[in-house]
Amino acid sequence: MSEEQVKTQIEELKTLLNQYNYQYHVLDKPSVPDAEYDQKLHELIKLEQEYPHLRTEDSPTQRVGGEPLEGFEKVEHRTPMLSLGNAFDDQDLRDFDRRVRQGVGGDVHYVCELKIDGLAVSLLYEEGRFVRGATRGDGRIGENITNNLKTIRSIPLRLKENATLEVRGEAFMPKASFEKLNADREEEGVEQFANPRNAAAGSLRQLDPKIAASRNLDIFVYGAGQYEGRSIDSHSESLNYMSELGFKTNQEWKRCTSIEEVIEYVNGWVERRPDLNYEIDGIVIKVDSLDQQDELGTTVKSPRWAIASKFPAEEVITQLEGIELSVGRTGVVTPTALLKAVQVAGTTVKRASLHNEDLIRERDLKIGDYVVIKKAGDIIPEVVNVIEEKRTGDEQDFSMPENCPECGSELVRIEDEVALRCINPKCPAQIREGLIHFVSRNAMNIDGLGEKVITQLFNENLIQDVADIYELDRNELLKLERMGEKSVDNLLSAIEASKQNSLERLLFGLGIRHVGSKAARTLAENFETIERLQNAESGDLTAINEIGEKMADSVVLYFEKPEVEQLVKHLREVGVNMEYKGLKRSEVEDVDSPFNGKTIVLTGKLQQLSRNEAKAEIERLGGKVTGSVSKSTDLLIVGEDAGSKLTKAEKLGIEVWTEDAFVAELET
């Protein structure tokens, strides 16, 4: 055969195998025996081995899993993956409906979908080919798990149209696959997974794709984050379009014309839930109209046009085997119930929060008691009450210690607080927890410095305060377990990069009592340098609208400590930035720019800037970037192949700029 004939045969085999795969894994209607599928796949493998340059990324042979990776790269989602607010009863749903109808000022239709209990992922397709898959991560930045996602056979590697789009879905492990996996792990003497969700997440974060391939995962796609070339007006239309393209969508969704119809759908699935061959933990309710979704908008964390109705809390009985104490970064000593392992809401529970000593007394808890525990959705399990009739007399009373379980210092109860605190600034538990907080995502965001690594460094006496992080020695790190040259170099690079963070990240990372990430941003924006904040008095702080007396006093007391003055000095000496780098609100308001105060949409392929660079420039100049065109859009900036957004903008009479015009404006 000529190479052209081989290429034609390979394309025919790929098309045939993709069709067989779609019929089997998406439609659940096998069209050929497994032996015939295997024979065709073997033919394709053989041809691709003989002609490796003809092998493509969308070939069915790429599903078996490639070589192990050294780590997952970070990727930015084209459209943020927001989390959902929760509803726990019918009244919460009616309140949601009231807010929605007030927001749009008219009738609303809803789409109800099963909330699959798995791992949220984003799938990117270009010209119909699957090019990248990522975890949700923090909603903006996820991890590239493309090779693992390719092993899920219900994910099409090639769409039925040459569409460019980013879709969202929930990868999950079917109940049968979960039971088999745990049975195999039990036989091997390996710890079993607590629930299918953890198993799915653990499988997709394996560095060896062959492990993911062996786990028999599945997926349901539930919507598009972004698509081009197709005009879609509603979420229900989007679901149908996903199915047309070859995606597996959950067919139990329903379009409802009233909130009472929604409530009926939700309550019906409370009873039917056990009949499914996969786990669900609630129902997602979305406004169907995309125009109405745009009108309602989003908060920082979640859309106003969607909500998750969580199933009722499940309560079970188990035995309280002990109470463990832990010391947090602020010195609070927290008791935790150690329980006889029990299944609650699909999760194996061995621990539950007891909050404080007053709760233990209020519920008259004794070690050895049989107790009722409750878990609703992802909420931490809690002890509801004691079953007194099960007491035998062998139960033991529990009382909080007088001294810190970590350092032995006397514990104190501060006025108006229920918590006991260790106020020893040298307490190792507080230092360790403070270090973990300092490197966390919302603080200095040092990749590679997780809780385990921090604990290891602390135990090896390599770090005792946050400034020590910036003086870690490469040779010392290489002596530690699980620290290879590449991981050490990556860690040191991440530490070095964090020195350039804006002041608000440092302030939040320092763990000043009552100062969260939002307050840290406010303080940084108003004082601009840490030196000015150190010299501020309580009145200077309370003059800022968002800062109350309690927070102001806490900040002043913090910076008055000699050890804090030394720490800040040390951080400055090692090169950590001490200034605010962002725009102040007043500066944004005063920006002389055609984008200031405008709502702007980007569409099509930009050639001179990446989409993220364009978005950053618009926001720097006071504009707001959204993902879809609506009547509230002020400006559409178009690249190549603009598609339906351009059509809709022209229909609504919205101003349209080319990319060249946009770049020219940036350069003026």
Residue 73 lies in a domain: no
Domain containing 617 — which CATH number? 3.40.50.10190
Tokens for 295? 């009108």
Tokens for 589? 């308001």
Burial of 442 (0-12, 13-18, 19+ CB in 10 A): middle
Residue 76 lies in a domain: no
Q: Is the torsion defined by CA of 469, 475, 480, 482 positive or negative?
A: positive
Residue 403 lies in a domain: no
Q: How many CB atoms lie within 10 A of CB 557?
A: 13
Question: CA-CA distance, 253 to 221, in Å (whole number)?
Answer: 12
Asked whether 532 and 510 are in contact (CB, 8 A), the reply is: no
- The residue from 280, 310, 340 where one domain ends is 310
| DSSP symbols for 441-477 | TTTT--TT--HHHHHHHHHTTS-SSGGGGGG--HHHH
Assess whether 332 and 274 both reside in one domain.
no
Assess whether 215 and 163 both reside in one domain.
yes
| DSSP symbols for 314-332 | EEEEEEEEEEEEEE-TT-E
- In this predicted structure, what is the pLDDT of residue 261? 96
Tokens for 193? 């997974």
Catalytic residue among 115, 248, 310, 375: 115
Domain containing 230 — which CATH number? 3.30.470.30
Domain containing 368 — which CATH number? 2.40.50.140
Domain that holds residue 613: 592-667
- In this predicted structure, what is the pLDDT of residue 23? 77
Assess whether 126 and 204 both reside in one domain.
yes
Assess whether 283 and 327 both reside in one domain.
no
Closest CA to 114 of 170, 167, 197: 170
Assess whether 168 and 252 both reside in one domain.
yes
In our burial notation (b when 16+ CB lie closer than 10 A, e otherwise), range 153-177 reads bbbbbbbeeebbbbbbbbbbbbeeb
Question: CA-CA distance, 144 to 134, in Å (whole number)?
Answer: 4
Tokens for 603? 């569409």
- Strand 635-638 vs strand 599-603: parallel, antiparallel, or unpaired? parallel
Residue 587 lies in a domain: no
- What percent of the chain shows pLDDT beyond 70? 92
Q: Starting from the edge strand earliest in sequence, which strands make up the sheet with 110-116, in order? A: 85-87, 306-310, 280-287, 110-116, 254-256
Q: Which stretches of the chain drop beneath a pLDDT of 50?
A: 65, 68, 378, 589
Residue 41 lies in a domain: yes
Residue 222 lies in a domain: yes
Assess whether 175 and 258 both reside in one domain.
yes
Assess whether 150 and 278 both reside in one domain.
yes
- In this predicted structure, what is the pLDDT of residue 198? 82
Tokens for 105? 């000022």
Asked whether 319 and 384 are in contact (CB, 8 A), the reply is: no
Closest CA to 145 of 234, 222, 211: 211
Assess whether 265 and 161 both reside in one domain.
yes
Domain count, the chain: 5
Asked whether 342 and 349 are in contact (CB, 8 A), the reply is: yes
- In this predicted structure, what is the pLDDT of residue 15? 84
Assess whether 500 and 434 both reside in one domain.
yes
| Helix segments in 228-303, DSSP class H | 235-245, 259-272, 290-296
Assess whether 554 and 597 both reside in one domain.
no
In our burial notation (b when 16+ CB lie closer than 10 A, e otherwise), range 232-265 reads bebbbebbebbbebbbbbbeebeebeebeebbeb
- Strand 129-135 vs strand 420-422: parallel, antiparallel, or unpaired? unpaired
Assess whether 529 and 446 both reside in one domain.
yes
Burial of 657 (0-12, 13-18, 19+ CB in 10 A): middle
Question: CA-CA distance, 632 to 231, in Å (whole number)?
Answer: 18
- The residue from 282, 310, 338 where one domain ends is 310
Q: Tell me the three state secondary structure of residue 351.
A: strand
pTM: 0.53
- In this predicted structure, what is the pLDDT of residue 346? 62
Dihedral, CA atoms, 481, 485, 486, 489, nearest 10 degrees?
100
Assess whether 466 and 612 both reside in one domain.
no
Asked whether 304 and 97 are in contact (CB, 8 A), the reply is: no
- In this predicted structure, what is the pLDDT of residue 587? 56
Residue 78 lies in a domain: no
550 in catalytic set = no
Closest CA to 387 of 364, 371, 367: 371
Residue 407 lies in a domain: no
Q: Tell me the three state secondary structure of residue 412.
A: strand
Asked whether 601 and 629 are in contact (CB, 8 A), the reply is: yes
Contacts of 314 (CB under 8 A, 6+ apart): 344, 345, 374, 375, 376
Residue 61 DSSP label: G
| DSSP symbols for 598-619 | -EEEEESB-SSS-HHHHHHHHH
Phi, psi of 442, rounded to the nearest 5 degrees = -80, -10
- The residue from 397, 413, 442 where one domain ends is 397
